[in-house]
Structure 1
Amino acid sequence: MFELKKIIGSLLMPLPFILIALFILLMLSNKTRKVLWSMSLLCVISLWLISSPWFAQFIVAPLEGQYVAFNNKKHPEIDQIVVLGCDVRSNPRVPPNSQMGGCALSRIVEGIRILNLYPDAKLIVSGAGIGKVTNSSLMTKVAVSMGVSKSRISQNPLAKDTAEEAKLLAPKLVDRHVVLVTSVSHMKRAQDLFAKQGVETIPAPTEFASLSMWADYKLFIANAEVLKIVTTHIHEWVGLAWLEIVRFVDPEAM
């Protein structure tokens, strides 16, 4: 009964409900224009598939499966912990942590966790934002509120993307033991861009989707959260492809 209740509840959520409605409407519609009808049906089915955990894991696994969580036992000495920026939702009426999206929060929490393991390490928070409200300033406020001394934190507020973060931070990081904190889907591209600037990094990935571990009753039901995860991973595949194209045109670029 419990799982049946959860299944029905999940199917009534906006994404699966609308997809089911579209599927029914297509089944009842005039099929005289068979090509257009078939393509519409294919789009509905495809969106359902990539939004369901069971199918989405095949898209997510190639990037996520390359990394494991940071293990301090393998790295006795760390100098700098770099936390890359993510989404900002500027709103002065709420606390700094509520002005950061999920990816930014997961990154700064992981950065602070690792910082606490290395008393002599420094934390670098990075990322521009909206006007005067930057990823780096919000992350600093969150870190200080969680007990990190402000003297251990430095900001990189001018970088608008990962390529700029790597370029601006490289002079501080060359020949140092550097931990790079970012989302697991973003890690491959981020490490690549830092390596291009001569900075070798130790990955500390966050935001593991672990789709194969979702409850059985959720595996085949379209879910908006899963669609967001898939969108993030496809964004990274596009980003990696773009890097290859840019470097093919100009080997010295990025």
Structure 2
Amino acid sequence: MFELLTRILLWALIGIILWRIFLNVIPRIYLTWLGGLLIFTFVILAFINPTDDTVGAVWQILSIPLKPLGLALLLLLSALRSGLKAVVGNQVMAAALILLFSSLPLTAYWLTSQSERSAQAFATNDNVPALTAADAIVVLGDSSGLLDSSYRTRTELDEDGISTSLSPRLLYAARLYRDAGTNPLVIVSAGLQDREGEDTGEVQSIINLLAGMGVPSNRIEIDSESAGARTSAREVAEILEDQGLGDDASVVLVGSAINIRRASSTFAQLGIETIPRPTDFSILAPPGSEDFQLRIADFIPSVEALALTTRVVDEYLTSIYYFLRGWLSNPMGI
């Protein structure tokens, strides 16, 4: 009951915040009932099919005020509404500070290290089952929910024709397969379809890579449709059922350190016990640790730092969305 009430209040708060932001940026005359109806229609579609390309594109627009760069740009545009001679200084200052702090490497390192250290502690928890207890190893892709899946067409590929973010996870999964010693199933759930719903060339490349690393081809399953943790969990549940592993199956979850906690909670909400194995750590020596050395460069804004900060903010937003949808087994533990 407390969780449901929290969801309702959070939905209302988000709606009020977005409405106030749009009122300050878009002239009231354009915010007609028709515009409200369109936004309401989008919300309904997001509930029915959150991975649809159109829903993803609209979400990218509506979430602009929730991200550092988008919020700064909106504040600047709002400050210029009355012309250059009547610039609102407070909004310009706020936009500058948001961009400055979001682009500082030190800020990006701190935010990312918080997520990654939390993921490391989560993976080494005493309650996590042993690797030998796993019935399957699941490799997750990067899509996190309400995203435009067409981004994959612009993803950099390595020499094997596999996205550079997915390739290290596959190598890690192959190593885990050898260490398990129990011949677990290896499931790659990475959203490998193009805009037309056809499998990309990555599918065969993934099979070849895993097979070359010692994973038998008959123990490899490819889920090319999933574009988020929720859809991955559903598809993996179906694959496990087809393989006769039932409801008591335990899976090793290989994914980005930034979103592994949300992914594990999503799988658990569907009754799948997970053994989290985070990868893709961005911070080797987090701020505050003995190995971290403060440099002048850490106080110089950079595009890379802004991208890293935005990635963490994206994960926060997606976790909130998953909570609002009731897709997490332990929301307070994320």
- Give yes or no for the alignment of 1:184 onto 2:184: no
- 1:43 maps to 95
RMSD value over aligned CA atoms?
Answer: 3.3
- Give yes or no for the alignment of 1:220 onto 2:299: yes
> Could you tell me which of 208, 213, 223 is aligned with 2:281?
208
Structure 1 pair 123–208 and aligned structure 2 pair: CA distance change class (3 A): same
> Could you tell me which of 159, 177, 185 is aligned with 1:122?
185
Name the SS of the counterpart of 2:299 in structure 1.
coil
- Give yes or no for the alignment of 1:243 onto 2:306: no
1:6-52 alpha-carbon deviations (Å, 9 max, x no partner): xxxxxxxxxxxxxxxxxxxxxxxxx96462x4433432332232222
Q: Describe how 1:1-254 pairs up with structure 2 within 5 A.
A: 33=86, 35=88, 37-68=89-120, 74-86=130-142, 89=152, 97-102=160-165, 104-119=166-181, 120-128=183-191, 129-130=193-194, 131-133=198-200, 136-171=203-238, 172=240, 174-210=247-283, 211-212=286-287, 213=292, 216-247=295-326
Residue 187 of structure 1, CA deviation: 1.0
Residue 162 of structure 1, CA deviation: 1.6
1:111-132 alpha-carbon deviations (Å, 9 max, x no partner): 1221221232221111223132
Name the SS of the counterpart of 2:226 in structure 1.
coil
Q: Give ranges in structure 1 of 5+ residues lacking alignment.
A: 1-30, 249-254
Contact 2:174–2:214 (Cα < 8 Å) also in 1: no
Residue 76 of structure 1, CA deviation: 3.9
- State the distance in 1 between where 2:212 and 2:131 align: 27
Q: Give ranges in structure 2 of 5+ residues lacking alignment.
A: 1-83, 144-150, 328-334
Structure 1 pair 161–89 and aligned structure 2 pair: CA distance change class (3 A): closer
Residue 78 of structure 1, CA deviation: 2.7
Residue 89 of structure 1, CA deviation: 4.7
Amino acid in structure 1 at the alignment position of 2:184: A
**TM-score, with structure 1 as normaliser:** 0.70
Amino acid in structure 2 at the alignment position of 1:163: R
Amino acid in structure 1 at the alignment position of 2:117: G
- State the distance in 2 between where 1:175 and 1:116 align: 22
- State the distance in 2 between where 1:74 and 1:217 align: 43
Query: Alignment length, in residue pairs?
Result: 215
Contact 1:86–1:135 (Cα < 8 Å) also in 2: no
Contact 1:180–1:204 (Cα < 8 Å) also in 2: yes
- State the distance in 1 between where 2:179 and 2:234 align: 27
Structure 1 pair 165–51 and aligned structure 2 pair: CA distance change class (3 A): same
Name the SS of the counterpart of 2:120 in structure 1.
coil
Q: Which gives a bigger RCO, structure 1 or 2 (Cα 8 Å, sep 6+)?
A: 1
| Higher mean displacement: 132-141 or 163-172 | 132-141
- State the distance in 1 between where 2:280 and 2:106 align: 18
Contact 1:53–1:214 (Cα < 8 Å) also in 2: no
Structure 1 pair 215–100 and aligned structure 2 pair: CA distance change class (3 A): farther
**TM-score, with structure 2 as normaliser:** 0.55
